Amino acid sequence: MDLLDRPSVRLPGPCPEIETARLTLRPHRPGDADAIAQSLADFQVARMLSRVPAPYDRQDAADWLSRVRSGLTPDWALAITTGDDVHIGVVGLELRHGLWHLGYWLNRYYWGRGLMSEAASAAIERFFRRMPDVVLHSGAFADNTASLRIQEKLGFSVKGCGDLYSLARNAVAPHIETELTQAGFRPAARC
């Protein structure tokens, strides 16, 4: 029996569209492939992710989009877009091994503006409205201090550390594991 067929597994429902002060988070479209490929071809972005190869090209993006858009998983993979619908990153909530995980990335040219805090906060807030009793897991490579600051600001607490293989780095690197409950969630300040 597949995990999704088990009656005990609660699911958050279809991937929503969420508006924030500066962003729109929406389900992905096939036309997002070029922007995804451009962002993840940047090694400074890809090296902070565990499952992204380097080099990364348009076919990698098209394959990922095909899986995301298949509807075969309960995951939310939200495109982070600006007011003119430019795809600048992803915030995802993924069911892995029976646990919900938050993951995200942002095109490097948008770093340092508080956009990821805004996007992740909005996605988490919507997720907890639908799944209030879930513990949300996340983490970051130890050298990704910006990501760890985002998680700390949102209320994630450190639960451990270990080593995790990074496909882009082609190496194992120290990884900090974090988790968040609805009670501990601190939404990012509205812009």
- Amino acid symbol at 91: V
pLDDT for position 3: 47
Q: What does the pLDDT read at residue 14?
A: 87
Q: What beta strand segments (E) does the chain contain?
A: 18-19, 24-27, 76-81, 87-96, 99-106, 136-141, 157-166, 171-180
Spell out the domains of the chain, with CATH numbers in brackets. Answer: 3-134 (3.40.630.30)
Confidence (pLDDT) at 8: 55
Lookup result for tokens 């190869």: 53
Contact 144, 164 (CB under 8 A): no
Tracing tokens 């919507």 back to the chain, one arrives at 126
Residue 7's pLDDT is what? 45
Residues 6 or more apart whose CB falls under 8 angstroms from that of 115 comprise 22, 23, 80, 88, 89, 106
* pLDDT of amino acid 2: 47
pLDDT score at 129: 96
Task: Give the count of beta carbons closer than 10 Å to the beta carbon of residue 177.
Answer: 15
Q: Give the pLDDT confidence of 17-60 residue by residue, as tens digits.
A: 999 999 999 999 999 999 999 999 999 999 999 999 999 999 99
- Helix ranges (DSSP H) in the chain: 33-40, 43-46, 58-69, 115-130, 145-154
Ranges of the chain whose pLDDT falls below 70: 1-9, 190-191
